[in-house]
Amino acid sequence: MSHLAPAGLPPELPTSEDDEAPRVRPFSRSNLVQTVVGGYAPLIVATLVVFLPLLWMVLSSFKQPGEIVTLDLKLLPEAMNPENYKVAMTTVPFGRFFLNSTIVTVVGASIKVVLAILTAYALVFVRFPFRNVIFVLILVALMVPAQVSILPNYILIAGMGGKNTLWGIILPGLGTAFGTFLLRQHFLTLPVSILESAEIDGAGHWRRLWQIVVPVSVPAIATVALVTVVSEWNEYIWPLIITDKPESMTLPVGLTLLQNSEGNGSGWGILMAGAVLVIIPILIIFAMLQRYIVAGLTQGSVTG
């Protein structure tokens, strides 16, 4: 028997249960397996790979020599004794190392960030010949390992009298290809109309940079600053090569001096305590700037 529709309305088409799309249950077994295997499991493994060595370092900094150099592996120390930290800070001039690292990091990172801002602004908003060629050269510098320039830098800095000096540590690494690249990509996303309006009002490049571009680019600049600070603070190879006196060493090189003074195998806890003291300032800076990282990296990922 056919179903008749009311006058003026089209006849209803027969519906079938087979025409409806199957609804996926969010808590079905297949959906849970895909979520765990494709999401949570890799995330947990990556977190453990990064976190477990740091946890072992912190716990070992409170252990005595017999708890570290032993066949009976112990995760937790028998007592939370901070004696290793006291020894680490008194065996070597730890305060001098900390001051040197602070000076090198603050001065070097500040100059790097300012140069990256100026260079990126010029590559985007200033018209001059061979602008794209210069950007390609910056990309090439980004791909070349820093170890390639160690020998030429050493010959140059040593010839200038920069051995065992803080400016000799800072000078060779003042350029940052990564920061320039990231800020350039972010500056390309800024609306041109804002800068054109400022130019019509008589604002020059310097005013447009510091009053318009920089204030709206704080997340990207903070990301570059964080990466630069971490790189400067953790730099090891170049300060190790250019310095051989304790009064000009930075913290990473000072740890090597600490290891040499405790080289009989009984100073692993002291060395771990020194390593913890080195990473604490970076963790504090990271906690202060971490909310800018994702925003700063994603802002430069799309150009418009």
Query: What mean pLDDT value characterizes the chain?
Result: 81
Tell me: the pLDDT tens digits for 252-296?
898 888 776 655 455 788 888 888 988 888 888 888 777 766 655
Of the segments 14-23, 160-169, 174-183, which one has the largest average pLDDT value? 160-169
Domain ranges across the chain? 83-299
Written as six digits, the tokens of 148 are 């390639």
User: How does pLDDT run across 79-116, given as a tens digit for each residue?
Assistant: 777 888 888 888 888 889 999 999 999 999 999 999 99
pTM flag (> 0.85): no
Q: Per-residue pLDDT tens for 32-51?
A: 777 777 777 888 888 889 88
Top CATH class of 83-299 equals mainly alpha
DSSP 4-35: PPPTTSPPPPP--GGGSPPPPPTT-HHHHHHH
State mean pLDDT over 213-231. Answer: 89
Q: What is the pLDDT of residue 302?
A: 47
Distances (CA, A) of 26 to 17, 20, 23, 29, 30: 21, 18, 9, 9, 9
**Each residue's pLDDT tens digit, 18-27:** 555 555 566 6
Taking the C-alpha atoms of residue 252 and residue 279, their distance in angstroms, rounded to an integer, is 10
Q: How far is CA 216 from CA 67, 112, 178, 187, 212, in A?
A: 53, 19, 20, 10, 7
User: What percent of the chain stands above pLDDT 70?
Assistant: 83
Q: Rounded distance, CA 290 to CA 283, Å?
A: 10
